[in-house]
Structure 1
Amino acid sequence: MKQIIRDERGSASVWLVGLSVVLAIAIGGAVDGSRKAQAHSHATAVAEEAARAAAQALRAHALATGVDADLNPDLAAAEGRRYLAATGASGTVSVEGGRVSVDTTVTRSTIFLGMIGIAEFTVHGHGTADLISAG
């Protein structure tokens, strides 16, 4: 007659559930970690492009008279903020002399890490542009 061992019944199921949870967290970390890296790259790229857009806000009088161009600080800050608004990123624009600095903040929701209570992450980017005279 065949003897059935009942002590071990279901032990493979517990092991499999535990392994599945660990595997889901590892995959979630990889996927959401990749999304965080992409968001950081995006935040930095937006900050750099906003700084470049702002640095093109030159004083028209300087251009018309042929002297070295300089930035119109109010217009430059407005152009930088306009670029940020167009991309959907939030941030700040500062103009000091011929240098424009932009700091951005981007928030993304997680895909897998929400299972362990991490619903979103926030990343920051920074970009600068310097006005350099050709003459």
Structure 2
Amino acid sequence: GLHSVLYRQDKLVVVMLPEHTLASRESVPFAQTLDSDYVGLHAASSINMRTHAAARQAGKVLRIRIHVPGFDAVCRMVQANMGIGILPQRAYELFGRALGLHAVPLTDEWSDRALILVVRDEASLSPVSRMLFEHLRGQV
């Protein structure tokens, strides 16, 4: 009984200092990043939960040095050499590139994400909610 529409597609990348050993790679499987320390997003984030699950599947533990609240903070901590981070490509372009960081795409299937907007019934949305829904739907 729910109505869903594609909001946007995104690709997860590993963000690091340019001199990191993985920086010369064109792409990398997540399991090959697990020997590095990580800067993690807050514990309830979907990226944090997915990376912990992928580490468990690889038989390893994600070595989180610090949890931060947002993408910009991940980039600042990576810049401070606290570890590497996982971000959407667009977040890297907005925050990481300007800080001189490097990004390498993940090859894992779960790193290609489809973000979905879901509502019970478009007709029952408040005028403000409908405007937001329409705006986001137009962003694909």
Structure with greater strand percent: 2
TM over 0.5: no
**TM-score grouping bracket, smaller chain normalisation:** under 0.3
Q: TM-score, normalized by length of structure 2?
A: 0.24
Higher RCO (Cα < 8 Å, 6 or more apart) = 2
